[in-house]
Amino acid sequence: MNKKENNSQVPVVSVANVSFAYDHLSVLEDINLTIHKGDFLGIIGPNGGGKTTLVKIILGLLKPQKGTINVLGTSPKNARSQVAYVPQHAPEDREFPITVWEVALQGRLQSSGWGYRYTREDRQRAADELQRVEMWEFRKRPISALSGGQRQRVFLARALCRDPEILFLDEPTVGIDSRAQENIYDLLQKLNQHITIVIITHDIGVISQYVRSVACVNRILIAHNEGLITAEMLEKTYNCPVDLIAHGVPHRLFQPHSS
């Protein structure tokens, strides 16, 4: 058995019997989910189905009313230094004069907080990550002057500066054009060679080309399998019939069929 196969058997996230409610309104019920080292997990489901809530519980940003969460062998709170999160809408003030370089450097603040003086190692890491996401040439530009896709790359560089073992992303391609989306997914696929990735997305057709496994969430966990997205799974998840159309989408999306 090779190293890749061994890694695939190592759980890095375990969610057991987790339920969560906002003001007695049930959002998640009895969720059980295991994420293995080296996975590229796509979490799909309708708006309001609990996808983001589930990720925030794994990150320790929310506390469930029931159930347990284990991340990298410890509690979500204790594992925070080993994970990174890119939210759907990264907080930013369009009028605040912060540059791409300064945003990337923020990723090195994890241990010492504000007032920390960046080291040479910090600056080198920020430079390396901006180069990795192909945003080095924009380092002096205000973050507010970038396109949506460019900003997402910078926020990704900031997350990578944390040197995470697990990277969580919430709808990283919302509001950006198809070419920028493809570039981001290609980059995530490369990162997945050494980082476990969990992504919340509505881009069902696109992620099918990249993910290793899929979790369908709509208050409950509808399905969790090895990357196979079927019409039946989607119908159960979205509570309505869903037609899968093969416009450039790999046929592994479909149930076996005859031509």
DSSP notation for 20-70: EEETTEEEEEEEEEEEETT-EEEEE--TTSSHHHHHHHHTTSS--SEEEEE
The reply to whether 244 falls in a domain is yes
The reply to whether 175 falls in a domain is yes
Domains contained in the chain, number: 1
pLDDT tens, N- to C-terminus, the chain (259 residues): 344 445 567 899 999 999 999 988 999 999 999 999 999 999 998 888 999 999 999 999 999 999 999 999 999 999 999 999 998 766 555 566 799 999 999 998 865 556 678 899 999 999 999 999 999 999 999 998 998 889 989 999 999 999 999 999 998 888 788 888 888 889 999 999 999 999 998 877 767 788 899 999 999 998 787 777 777 777 778 776 555 544 333 333 334 444 3
Tell me if 220 sits within 8 A of 29, measured CB to CB: yes
- If you compute the radius of gyration of the chain from its CA atoms, what whole number of angstroms results? 19
The reply to whether 130 falls in a domain is no
Tell me what pLDDT residue 32 has: 96
Q: To the nearest 10°, report the CA torsion of 88, 199, 207, 219.
A: -90
The reply to whether 138 falls in a domain is no
Tell me what pLDDT residue 92 has: 56
Tell me if 160 sits within 8 A of 108, measured CB to CB: no
- What is the Cα–Cα distance from 120 to 106, expressed in whole angstroms? 14
Q: Phi and psi (nearest 5°) for 50?
A: 105, 10
The reply to whether 221 falls in a domain is yes
Give the amino acid at 226: E
184: left (phi over 0), alpha (psi -120 to 50) or beta: alpha
Tell me what pLDDT residue 201 has: 87
Q: Which two tokens stand for residue 230?
A: 């079927």
Q: Which two tokens stand for residue 54?
A: 């589930």
**What Cα–Cα distance (Å) separates residue 240 from each residue in 43, 116, 194, 231?**
18, 52, 37, 10
- What is the Cα–Cα distance from 45 to 224, expressed in whole angstroms? 12
The reply to whether 10 falls in a domain is yes
Q: Phi and psi (nearest 5°) for 166?
A: -130, 135
- What residues have CB less than 8 Å from 227, skipping those under 6 apart? 208, 211, 212, 213, 214, 252
Residue 9, domain CATH: 3.40.50.300
Residue 216's domain comprises 3-92+164-253
The reply to whether 142 falls in a domain is no
